[in-house]
């Protein structure tokens, strides 16, 4: 959702919370694929119409580029045109103010784009980027190999990870989106894709990359990848999704959402038997909402933020054993940001998360398992801070996270091949 749409809703929030009639309107929003039936249940669980309206208004700005227009259309369809007129009048006033400020702040300096869906902001609202990489993007550090001694001392508690290749990896990277959708070009996204492709290859994976796929093409690519017979002969797999996003989904190049739970389901023990008992790694570089994490002041301690530039939001069992498995296990998923918040991306260095992930995995995978490496990634992200004086992004923060159903230590043992 565009910033001006968010502002119009914000300025009319109290009136909307008091007057909005939701009971039929939410069904229109479900029909338009803006909210889900689970969200409707969450809204209806609130006591009183005011609280239900507040819950809906909290969700609406996070539901993608079509949410505002769909809401206005639903207001007309439910005979609440007076509320639409109130919002559009605020929009008109805001656009006049934006035009005045743009005239005052015109500049030829470059500006970055957003990782979230409220991306087409006027230039004066965007931070000026002071990249420290001389415009060439981050250097990709070489992966350091583990020693035979380390492998022999740790393999008994770890997943088997000695196949050649180690596994198959799939990267779906969207940087360009259809012109009719309110999703901007993800400058720096190609840097992320190149960095991850190089990292995964150096870690011993066979990598497939797909660029600028629609939501359906992404779904098809994931289904084909999950059904590859070659998964039987390798010890793990990696999936990386790089795009704009909202909580629970990432955008295809056509502006439609790919639901993450559907992606995860394709690789569970029921749907992907060739990867049963094998570790499956997911990395999601996308926003999970529009909220900027503005951080809080630390009460004590001497830690300093690391701000390198100005950023913004942007082994199988034999069938004869008949061993019962939970439907979902042996997965670990790293997210660039927390639920409801925006992910940060530098237009030349790439995203904060992928830069940290690449650096940590290249340096530490020789002697650290994946969960502990993702803790180190979290630590690096925690220390970073946006630098964009005079804008909403100045001193903004990000916090990555991961979730795991791994059942053993996941060491990648880079460079180690038994018997060689």
Mode of pairing for the β-strands spanning 344-346 and 350-351: antiparallel
Of 244, 333, 337, 369, which one is the catalytic site residue?
A: 244
Q: Counting Cβ atoms within 10 Å, is residue 259 exposed (0-12), middle (13-18) or buried (19+)?
A: middle
Q: Is 287 designated active site?
A: yes
Q: HSE-up of 193 (CA within 13 Å, CB side)? A: 20
Token pair 């439910």 is found at 78
Contact 153, 147 (CB under 8 A): no
**Cα separation, 64 vs 190, whole angstroms:** 22
Contact 295, 395 (CB under 8 A): yes
Mode of pairing for the β-strands spanning 249-251 and 245-246: antiparallel
Of 72, 193, 287, 396, which one is the catalytic site residue?
A: 287
Mode of pairing for the β-strands spanning 280-285 and 331-335: parallel
Measured in residues, the chain has a length of 420
Question: Left if phi > 0, otherwise alpha if psi is -120 to 50, otherwise beta: which for 373?
Answer: alpha
**Cα separation, 250 vs 233, whole angstroms:** 30
| Residues pairing with 285 in the sheet | 242
Q: Is 244 designated active site?
A: yes
The residues annotated as belonging to the active site are: 244, 287
């Amino acid at each position: 959702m565009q910033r001006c749409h968010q502002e119009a809703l914000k300025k009319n929030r109290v009136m909307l919370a008091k007057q909005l009639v939701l009971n039929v309107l939410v069904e229109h929003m479900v029909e338009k694929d803006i909210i889900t039936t689970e969200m409707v249940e969450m809204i209806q669980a609130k006591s009183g119409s005011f609280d239900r309206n507040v819950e809906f208004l909290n969700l609406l700005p996070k539901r993608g580029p079509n949410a505002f227009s769909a809401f206005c259309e639903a207001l007309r369809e439910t005979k609440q045109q007076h509320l639409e007129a109130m919002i559009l009048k605020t929009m008109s006033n805001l656009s006049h103010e934006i035009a005045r400020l743009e005239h005052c702040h015109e500049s030829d300096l470059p500006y970055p784009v957003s990782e979230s869906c409220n991306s087409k902001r006027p230039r004066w609202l965007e931070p000026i980027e002071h990249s420290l990489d001389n415009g060439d993007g981050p250097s990709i550090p070489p992966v350091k190999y583990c020693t035979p001694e380390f492998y022999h001392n740790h393999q008994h508690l770890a997943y088997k990870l000695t196949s050649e290749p180690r596994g198959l990896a799939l990267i779906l990277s969207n940087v360009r989106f259809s012109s009719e959708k309110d999703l901007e070009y993800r400058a720096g996204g190609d840097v992320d894709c190149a960095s991850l492709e190089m990292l995964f290859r150096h870690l011993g994976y066979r990598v497939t990359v797909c660029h600028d796929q629609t939501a359906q093409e992404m779904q098809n690519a994931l289904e084909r990848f999950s059904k590859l017979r070659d998964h039987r002969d390798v010890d793990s797999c990696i999936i990386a999704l790089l795009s704009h996003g909202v909580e629970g989904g990432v955008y295809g190049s056509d502006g439609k959402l790919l639901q993450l739970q559907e992606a995860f389901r394709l690789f569970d023990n029921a749907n992907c038997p060739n990867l049963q008992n094998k570790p499956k790694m997911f990395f999601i570089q996308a926003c999970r909402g529009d909220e900027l994490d503005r951080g809080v002041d630390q009460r004590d301690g001497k830690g300093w933020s690391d701000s390198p530039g100005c950023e913004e939001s942007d082994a199988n069992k034999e069938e004869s054993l008949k061993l019962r498995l939970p439907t979902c296990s042996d997965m670990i998923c790293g997210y660039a940001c927390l639920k409801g918040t925006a992910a940060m991306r530098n237009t030349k260095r790439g995203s904060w998360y992928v830069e940290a992930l690449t650096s940590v995995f290249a340096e530490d995978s020789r002697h650290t398992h994946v969960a502990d490496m993702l803790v180190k990634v979290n630590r690096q992200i925690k220390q970073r801070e946006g630098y964009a004086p005079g804008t909403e992004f100045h001193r903004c923060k990000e916090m990555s996270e991961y979730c795991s159903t791994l059942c053993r230590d996941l060491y990648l043992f880079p460079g180690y091949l038994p018997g060689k």
